A = this chain, B = another copy of it.
Amino acid sequence: MSKKPLILITNDDGITAPGIRSLIDVMTSIGDVVVVAPDSPQSGMGHAITINSTLHIDKITNDADQFEEYSCSGTPADCVKLGVREILKRKPDLCVSGINHGSNASINVIYSGTMSAAIEAGIEGIPAIGFSLCDYNWSANFEHSKSYIKTIAEHVLEHGLDNGTVLNVNIPNLEKKDIKGIKVCRQAKANWEEEFDKRQNPYGKDYYWLTGKFVNLDHGEDTDEWALANGYVSVVPIQFDLTAHHSIQRLNTWNFNKK
């Protein structure tokens, strides 16, 4: 029996994206790999799951292939659920998602399908990492990302992660020689200043494209945005207990029940 770790791979750009191919390359050098990824791009899907529609899975590799690969009609979170419950014969030792084409640093984590897959695995108690390269191009160069991804995945396999946490890893779009190393960070406070691009369809009806400008509001030097801007790979531990514990005491001064 193989002693290699079992690694579930997914993403949100879809199974045909170059990013997931690079992630598969790295993971096959570490463990036994099963890929369950969306059959179409799912960017910006947040933590969507499919409850009002059916889900399909197609095995797209054959028995001669080195690893199994499945294409799924659902969201990244669906892929993890289906992978764990229906496809894998045992709980995986690691779930990795990506490599996303584009940053998931700071507030982008909230909208990210890549990270929703990692979070879903984390909820299931599986150590999980989302990887993103800060380059939106379909033809982005993922080569220099590979050694960092391997290092981080090996550390997680060796040490495990704290209960209730997963890692959000972002890689700067730089030449390998210009990357200074890996930095553990907190999520920067940032937001998107939306600008809707309003147009008219050929029948005179208005419609909108969502566009916007990313604004980093955080001057801290311990943030993921700072790390990326200064040539580091950022690693942010994130949690899915969303409770703002620091606010509970203040809310308890309000005396809701006496008004």
**Does the CB pair B210–A49 fall under 8 Å?**
yes
When distances are taken between beta carbons in the complex, the residues of chain B under 8 Å from A236 are: 242-243
Query: A30 within 8 Å of B by Cβ?
Result: no
- Which residues of A, 193-245, contact B by the 8 Å Cβ criterion? 194-196, 198-199, 205-210, 235-245
A85 to B209, CA, bound (A): 13
**Does the CB pair A159–B254 fall under 8 Å?**
yes
Query: A134 within 8 Å of B by Cβ?
Result: no
**How many interface residues does A have (CB within 8 Å)?**
80
- With A49-B111, A123-B110, A155-B256: A194-B81 Cβ-Cβ less than 8 Å: yes
**Does the CB pair B55–A242 fall under 8 Å?**
no
A198 to B187, CA, bound (A): 39
- With A49-B111, A186-B248, A243-B187: A196-B152 Cβ-Cβ less than 8 Å: no
Query: A26 within 8 Å of B by Cβ?
Result: no
- With A46-B77, A85-B194: A235-B256 Cβ-Cβ less than 8 Å: yes
Copies in the complex: 2
**Does the CB pair B49–A46 fall under 8 Å?**
yes
A236 to B251, CA, bound (A): 9
When distances are taken between beta carbons in the complex, the residues of chain B under 8 Å from A191 are: 123-124
List A residues at the B interface (Cβ < 8 Å): 41, 43-52, 54-57, 77-78, 81-82, 84-86, 107, 109-111, 116, 119, 123-124, 151-152, 154-155, 159, 161-162, 164-165, 168, 181-182, 184-187, 189, 191, 194-196, 198-199, 205-210, 235-248, 250-252, 254, 256-257, 259
Apart from the given pairs A46-B48, A57-B206, A107-B123, 20 other A-B contacts in the complex at a CB distance below 8 Å = A41-B52, A44-B51, A49-B210, A50-B210, A54-B199, A55-B209, A55-B210, A56-B208, A77-B111, A81-B194, A81-B210, A85-B194, A85-B195, A110-B123, A123-B191, A124-B191, A162-B250, A164-B189, A184-B251, A239-B243
